[in-house]
Structure 1
Amino acid sequence: MTASLPSPGTRRRIFLSLYSAVFATMVGVGIVIPLLPRYAATLGATGIWIGAIFSAFALSRALFLPVFGRLSDDHGRRRLIISGLCLYSLISFLYTMAGSVYEITALRFIHGIASAMVLPVAIAYISEIAPTGEEGSFIGSFASSISLGMSLGPFIGGVISDYLTMDAVFHTMTLLSLTALLTVFFYLPDIPSCPVKKSPIRSIIAYKPLRGPILYQLMYALANGTFMVFLPIAAITIGGLSASETGLIILVSVLSTPVFQHFFSRIADQFDRYYLIAGGTAMIGTSLLLLPEFAGLFPYLSAALLMGIGRAISLPAMYAVVAVAGREVGHGSASALVNTTLSVGLIVSPLFSGMVMDLSGTRMIFYVAGIASICCTFLFFRMDRSEGPVC
């Protein structure tokens, strides 16, 4: 079912307020992520506890995303986003008071709950106001706020940590969360959710148009997890690169996605979306397969750029497929489901890749993730032929 869209002026106001809020929130999250392991180590964290700190965030997201997705469909999205940003701000401040590994882990778990109340619900809000036939450009442009914020955050956090203190990093995260909260509170209008037929979560999981996005998120978790977690090891031990060169490679990979995403979000409305998902996935898989064969900075930068462009091509198309499916099962439920899949993948993929590394070495991690991505490419082509047009 569909409802009348807000006026263009109201849509623009919703888009800009949510874009600003999500960007500020993602910068805040990105600021602290690279510094958390070092901060946890000062509190006596072992390797297993550092892993637990990061897994706690993904675990709580996986548990609560379906709940908040359904709540946003039933009771509106603005209040839920505001509540999540309030919790974001509080948790950001409480990091400065944490005195043990257990407290940090608990805060990360609650931080994941706040994330489940904000990001997927914001995407659902944007999906709901996207004009028919323009889902790719509308949602793809909005999604650039996520990757742009996450790419700038680590650099800002590193600078603040080097010149000030770790507490200053947490205070900055708090300030950014409050900025996002005030932006939404004063500028985001509250519009009713489109009425949809309520379906059990089991039925939503089995809904055919969502199979492609679910598969993509699982692939993305394995590919991106492999790249972000194990690239520093491969770049130094295989590629002969320095730590600063490795940081530059990661920056190019992450930053190239929002740079190219604005262009490819328009393409997502002009071509078959599953072909675009398949094409982007093939580029990601090729990048992973090439990486362990490279040595030197420029080949690694080329592979990083290839991966970033692959994400820029596939993500807007994937979000557009979810938006179309959300008109039938609820935008909040559809967005929550695909984000839950990503969270589960981010919990499992580092453990799986670590096991592969222990058994077969660093190179094999990239070969396995690359081959899995290429296999998914063929599955996306098959989905397109068997299920017909997406929109």
Structure 2
Amino acid sequence: MKKKYLPLLFLIAFLTMLGFGIIIPILPYFAENIGASSLQIGILFASYNVMQLLFAPIWGALSDRIGRKPLISFGLFGFSITFILFGIADTYTEMLAYRILGGIVSAAALPTVTAMVADVFPSDERAKGMGVIGAGIGLSFVFGPAIGGFLSPYGFSVPFFASGGVAFLTFLIILFALPESLPKEKRTGQTREKKGNVFSVLFGPLSLMYGIMFVVSFAFSGLETTFALYINHLYGFTSKDLGYMFLVMGIISAFVQGGLIGRLVKRLGEPLVLTIGLALYGIGFFTIPLAASFWTLALTLSLFGAGQGMIRATGTAMITQRTSQGQGVTSGAISSMDSLGRILGPLAGGAVYGWFASGPFIIGGVLMVIMLVLFRTRYHRLPERAEA
């Protein structure tokens, strides 16, 4: 059964995040072009994720009741409309409104894809499944920022229209080609097993793992918010240069997740692979202030590409293997932690950048060291796998 689902889920993850990746090099410049400050740019990033934080658990619980496909379809259709609207915005207020609406509707999409992987893959193969989906996401960051950089000379709105078109194409693929992964008899409306809510999930035995997902998201989203401004203000690099840098990062991330995660987990185990990922993130953060050329900055981003592949795939697999709740609720909780990091990270990154340009990266490196120490001293206290 997993052979039937995996290529489609890979394609859906790739196309979903391709639309998101297209606008990464553009959004800070687009907002700055209409007079937004670095803090206001941080608010734009954060507002999207505030809605993701609030609505991902709701959509996740609903997917446990009605199935995965309706929620993914709804999320991608909403993603398409709101990105097109953002592209025609000409005031900061309009941008903020469309980001908020986009966060609400798109929160139903990618977390539900993660729940689908957990539905289909047995516990001992889940890291590999998450890795393949992560490879799709990684490849989207190969092509997405590069496409955004290529389209930006034609106007800042054009990449957003392209993102909306890609999202609508993905919606059509889901509608006509993606089968449902959660049988009716396993939905929470049909059984009393595996019911739960986001609070019982987040503050349960897996709180350490959710904390890691939050801190990684917090630190990296601070980088996303400020890196474009940093390399432009200090070295004069443009959005096109940034697109090429993300191209290098995406290639590394896709290679690690699609080709190496399964082998690494089988040889080293998930805890050690996650440890290596955190270490690579930490090295990357501390190296950014030392890098000054295109290639040193691009190679530094490649550390994040490799680390992201290890952290996302193994962290998500470890949580879904050990959860006692429904996979929709669990995936929603993972997404909430990611979103909470993306709420606070851009705000902190934008504020610190205005005070000290290298500050967001140094703080990120310190946080990775803390998480690395906590994980290595406490991971053995995690509950056993919940399924064979």
TM-score range, shorter chain: 0.7 to 0.9
Gaps of 5+ in 2: 188-192
Contact kept in structure 1, 2:38 and 2:354, CA below 8 Å: no
CA offset at residue 174 of structure 1?
A: 2.9
Q: State the shift of 1:201 in Å.
A: 2.9
Letter in 1 for 2:306: I
The amino acid across from 1:87 in the alignment is G
Aligned partners of 1:50, 1:171: CA distance in 2, in Å? 20
Alpha-carbon distance between aligned partners in 1 of 2:295 and 2:337, rounded to the nearest angstrom: 34
Which residue is equivalent to 1:115?
106
Match of residue 94 from structure 2: 103
Instruction: Please say if 1:274 is aligned against 2:300.
Output: no
Aligned twin of 2:308 = 311
Contact kept in structure 1, 2:322 and 2:384, CA below 8 Å:
no
Q: 1:88 to 1:236 in 2, by over 3 A?
A: closer
Distance in 1 separating the partners of 2:334 and 2:242: 30
* CA deviation after TM superposition for structure 1 residue 20, in Å: 1.7
- Alignment map for 1:220-231 (pairs within 5 Å): 220-231=216-227
Shift of 1:67: 0.6
Identity %: 24
Question: 1:1-391 maps to which residues of 2 (within 5 A)?
Answer: 8=1, 11-41=2-32, 45=36, 47-162=38-153, 164-192=154-182, 194=186, 196-208=193-205, 210-232=206-228, 234-235=230-231, 242-243=237-238, 247-266=243-262, 267-326=264-323, 328-357=324-353, 361-387=356-382, 390=385
1:205 shift after superposition: 1.4
Bigger shift: 295-304 or 280-289? 295-304
Alignment partner of 2:302: what SS? helix
Residues 152-171 of structure 1 deviation map (CA, whole Å, 9 limit, x = unaligned): 21221232332x44554343
Matched residues in 1 for 2:213 and 2:366: separation? Answer: 16
Is the Cα contact below 8 Å between 2:48 and 2:100 reproduced in 1? yes
**How many residues are treated as equivalent by the alignment?**
377
- State the alpha-carbon separation in 2 of the partners of residues 276 and 23 from structure 1: 23
SS of residue matched to 2:26: helix
The answer to whether the Cα contact below 8 Å between 1:95 and 1:107 also exists between their aligned partners in 2 is yes
Equivalent AA in structure 2 for residue 184 of structure 1: I
Distance 1:176 1:228 in 2: 22
Could you tell me which runs of 5 or more consecutive residues in structure 1 were left unpaired when the two chains were aligned. Answer: 1-7
- Cα deviation for residue 117 of structure 1 reads 0.7
Q: Is the 8 A contact 1:133 1:269 kept in 2?
A: no
Deviations 1:203-235 (A, max 9, x none): 111221x32431222221233124333334554
Shift of 1:109: 1.1
Q: Cα distance, 1:260 vs. partner? A: 1.7
Amino acid at match of 1:292: P
TM-score (norm 2): 0.87
Q: C-alpha distance in 2, partners of 1:101/1:364? A: 26
Give the whole-Å Cα distance in 2 for the aligned partners of 1:57 and 1:356. 20
Distance in 1 of aligned mates of 2:66 and 2:105: 17
Q: Check 1:353–1:46 CA distance in 2 against 1; reply closer, same or farther (3 A cut).
A: closer
Check conservation: 2:42, 2:349, Cα contact below 8 A: no
1:290-315: per-residue Cα shift (whole Å, max 9, x none)? 33234444443432222322222222
Amino acid at match of 1:334: T
Which letter does structure 1 place at the counterpart of 2:335?
A: N
Return the alpha-carbon distance in structure 1 between the equivalents of residues 166 and 204 of structure 2.
37
